[in-house]
Chain A
Amino acid sequence: MSRPPSAVRLLLLLVATALLTAVGAVPVQAAGQDRAAADGERRVVRVGTEGTYPPFTFTDPETDELTGYDIEVMKAVGERAGWDLRFTQGTFDALFPALDAERIDVIANQVTINDEREARYLFTQPYTFSRGVIVTASDTDDITSLADLKGRTTAQSETSNWAQVARDAGADVQSVEGFGPAAELLVQGRVDAIVNDNIAVLDYLASTGSDEIKIAGDAGEEVSRQALVFRQGDEALRDEADAALRELAADGTLAEISEDYFGADVSVENDADLDVAGSDSGRSRWDVVRDAAWPMLRGALVGTIPLTVISFVAGLALALALALARLSGVRLLDWPARAYVSLIRGTPLLVQLFIVFYGLGQVGLKLPSFAAACLALSLNVAGYAAEVIRASILSVPRGQFEAATTIGMDSWQTMRRIVLPQASRIAVPPLGNTLLSLIKDTALASVVLAPELFRAAQDAAALSTEYLPLYCFAALYYWVICYLVSLAQQPLERRLGRYAV
């Protein structure tokens, strides 16, 4: 139970504006503001969910709104408890750290109750009862029970409890992001089986109409229970949710929501045969791609492009400062700059992103996703651009500095009026490469939950399992953006070089 990465949508515009006005300054504690606002009116409760796990939590391609069984249950609970809900999307694996870090207050994402989780978190009463099943390719007939999984390979989400079930059965577990990709591996014959809950599997079968995989057997007797998860210490909140759930169960609201999605009541413990309503049935490949076009474009407009612009501008400013520090001849400035450049260029951007997003969060610097991605990308760009700028400044002949000195310029005027204009001409082609890299690197922001183009593609892919057309489409978007940027580079080079022969 965990699907491809997802993103923080709601804080985006706010954060983008904040960052534009204060590039380089570190916006802290967007979360704290939500809390403060709660005093006056309804209590703000931040809900973490994947948004990519139909039919439980997903974005409806028609209305473009977050919906699903878990979402509707959560909304009903929120209404009953008098909460003001703020939904935040993230990968399943990221939801628990987000809960720990107080970025969210509750997870509504088909979280199964188990001992390990009960020791660390607070669960409400269950609102879903499901049982585990083993899924195989249609032509596999030698796997029908957990015992048959010994020595076989299964595809599972690493942190879902089904991974543990498979491992306990002696299977070699391959980590994947979500059921769709797992099913794909199964169809391609790269794994032998998947252990998952019956609801998700039935939904997959119904929505894709696939006859290439089948439910081959039960994964044990046990019925698993899914509930809302709160942080330890938030008993009051949990109790309010519990009370609401009890009311919703009693007055039939839960059953009603469940019927809407599954044609059966999964909110009670019985073994009803589920008639799963596909959320996507009937959509052709073309429809899927067409429906994803706008969300992806929006991802580019509100995510990829602002991320690129902000990170590039902030990164260049920092890079210039680093370059000047290195050229200052002052050891106290030169050495830290040198160390910084070496560290940035010597470590993976992905690791830098995780340090900024998850690491800094642990020491009290909780940046929203978008801000964290901006910060990490800016710091990264600065490391690379600093050397480019330094080399460009060094390439300006010494005579230019002397000529500026003899007409009375101080070092700052010399830099600004004489050296940098000449250095910029030399720096534009390599900085253009840095910019193109940056545009593509913004896709990494999806792993720290920032909403952007690639996130949108993953959302659409999780819903439809049309990986090839959707990811190719996303690649096309990136290519178009990069192509337009490279087109703009030539006139810029011409303009900066207009004085040259």
Chain B
Amino acid sequence: MTLVEAHGITKSFGDQTVLRGVDFTAERGTATVLLGPSGSGKTTILRSLNVLETPDAGRVRIGDAAVDFDDLPRDKAARRRQIAALRACSGMVFQSHHLFPHKTALGNLLEGPVQVQGRPVDEATADARQLLERVGLAGREDAYPSQLSGGQQQRVGIARALALKPEVLLLDEPTSALDPELVGEVLAVVRDLAADGWTMLIVTHEVRFARDVADQVLFLDGGVVAERGGAEVLTDPREERTRRFLSRVLEAG
């Protein structure tokens, strides 16, 4: 069953066009890896799905929520409601975590469920503790982000995104800002989530990791999807530019 659907997404910043009509779908329970050279628009695609960037044109659907950027409601409130409904379907993990520094690990997880979704504090707290345990942070509930290592911070970031029980998890280069020795613990958590059947869209440069988890690979170049397929795209790409990119990344890694 198709959970995520993007159609004809275009986006320019000033006179620089970043996305030139991106189409793709993602099935429920699959992990989609977005690859591509820097500037290819991978991150912008992710940010278009939760409207951190507003596409110039195109259509996005996640589950029952859809926004048609060619035909946004005139009424501001209606537009806001539509976008909010789409956002509620996804959780986002940022490259540099963006945890709330003034909240504890637990507080970071509670903010969305309690303040936005209005869930009872007791229930949300129980869930949040479970999530922290799941990402290997049992006992660190009361630590502030500044008291955690980079890998721990990112795992709290993942748990925060999960706390909202989204339909799909968006991960924007979740390990790029980490010291090499901390990458493994974060990727292990993501692997577990994939195994548990979470629908995920992951922007990453970790090709080996991508091979493990990817059900679908989208290779972006020049603002379009240059190649798409299963995990085999990572081992045996059809396109020359995909091949070149992979060999560069693997050499560097």
| B91 CB-CB contact with A under 8 Å | yes
Residues of B within 8 A of A425 (CB): 102
CB-based nearest B residue for A398: B98
Q: Are B52 and A418 in contact (CB under 8 A)?
A: no
| B82 CB-CB contact with A under 8 Å | no
Q: In whole angstroms, how far apart are the Cα atoms of A405 and B103 in the complex?
A: 16
| A409 CB-CB contact with B under 8 Å | yes
Q: How large is the interface on B (under 10, 10 to 19, 20 to 34, 35 or more residues)?
A: 20 to 34
Q: How large is the interface on A (under 10, 10 to 19, 20 to 34, 35 or more residues)?
A: 20 to 34
Q: Are A413 and B52 in contact (CB under 8 A)?
A: no
> Shortest distance in angstroms between A497's beta carbon and chain B's nearest beta carbon?
9
| A403 CB-CB contact with B under 8 Å | yes
| B94 CB-CB contact with A under 8 Å | yes
| B115 CB-CB contact with A under 8 Å | yes
Q: In whole angstroms, how far apart are the Cα atoms of A404 and B94 in the complex?
A: 12
CB-based nearest B residue for A409: B116
For B90, B96, B102, B116, the residue with the greatest tally of chain A CB atoms inside 10 Å of its CB is B102
Residues of A within 8 A of B100 (CB): 400, 403-404, 418
CB-based nearest A residue for B104: A499
> Shortest distance in angstroms between A309's beta carbon and chain B's nearest beta carbon?
26
Residues of B within 8 A of A410 (CB): 84
B1-45 to A contact mask, C-beta < 8 Å, 1/0: 000000000000000000000000000000000000000000000
Q: Pick the contact of B146: A403, A407, A500 (CB < 8 A).
A: A500
The A/B interface has a contact count, at CB < 8 Å, of 66
In the complex with contacts A408-B117, A417-B115, A402-B146 CB distance below 8 A: no
B89-122 at interface with A (beta carbon < 8 Å): 90-92, 94, 96, 98-104, 111-112, 115-117
A390-432 to B contact mask, C-beta < 8 Å, 1/0: 0000000101101111111110010001100110010000000
Q: In whole angstroms, how far apart are the Cα atoms of A405 and B116 in the complex?
A: 10
| B144 CB-CB contact with A under 8 Å | yes
Residues of B within 8 A of A404 (CB): 100
Residues of B within 8 A of A407 (CB): 91, 111-112, 116, 160, 164
In the complex with contacts A406-B91, A408-B87, A422-B160 CB distance below 8 A: no
Given contacts A406-B87, A406-B161, 19 further A-B contacts (CB under 8 A): A399-B94, A400-B98, A404-B100, A405-B87, A406-B92, A407-B112, A408-B84, A408-B88, A409-B115, A409-B116, A413-B115, A413-B116, A417-B111, A418-B100, A422-B101, A425-B102, A499-B102, A499-B104, A499-B146
**B→A interface (CB under 8 Å):** 50, 52, 84, 87-88, 90-92, 94, 96, 98-104, 111-112, 115-117, 144-147, 160-161, 164
Please list the 5 inter-chain residue pairs (A to B) with the smallest Cβ-Cβ separation, ordered nearest first. A407-B112, A399-B98, A403-B98, A406-B92, A408-B116
